Amino acid sequence: MNNIDKTEEEWREELTPEQYEVCRKCGTEPAFTGEYWDCHDYGVYRCICCGAPLFDSETKYESGTGWPSFWQPISEDAVEYREDDQTDMERIEVCCAACDAHLGHVFEDGPEPTGLRFCINSASLALDRK
């Protein structure tokens, strides 16, 4: 349910080259390089493209993967899921429901209570610190 209608040129103008590559072209930042992989500040993680709330710091945990990891989104309607067939791995892509930005992937190897690991690129996020 993409509520944001912008051209690729408009996205390029608004985002850094890394943010554009990750969010609009389904790229991935290198592990252990993003701004939030080791961040322990409290707040709400928002979509860098549209500002929609995506994850709460209360659900962030150390997965050891080098990317920010969460065990659930801030609400089920905040994100959308798609099968990702870009690699040989079976993966589920996670996108912002408001603007269709690529955020990362979700895996079934996370902690309780959900058992999920939302492995999210820092480049797709902006932290609203509490």
Instruction: Find all residues with CB under 8 Å of 15, minimum gap 6, and list them.
Output: 23, 24, 48, 49
Helix spans in the chain (H): 8-14, 17-25
Question: Among candidates 107, 120, 32, which has minimal Cα distance to 69?
Answer: 120
- CA dist 2 and 126 (Å) reads 19
96 catalytically annotated: no
**Catalytic residue set:** 119
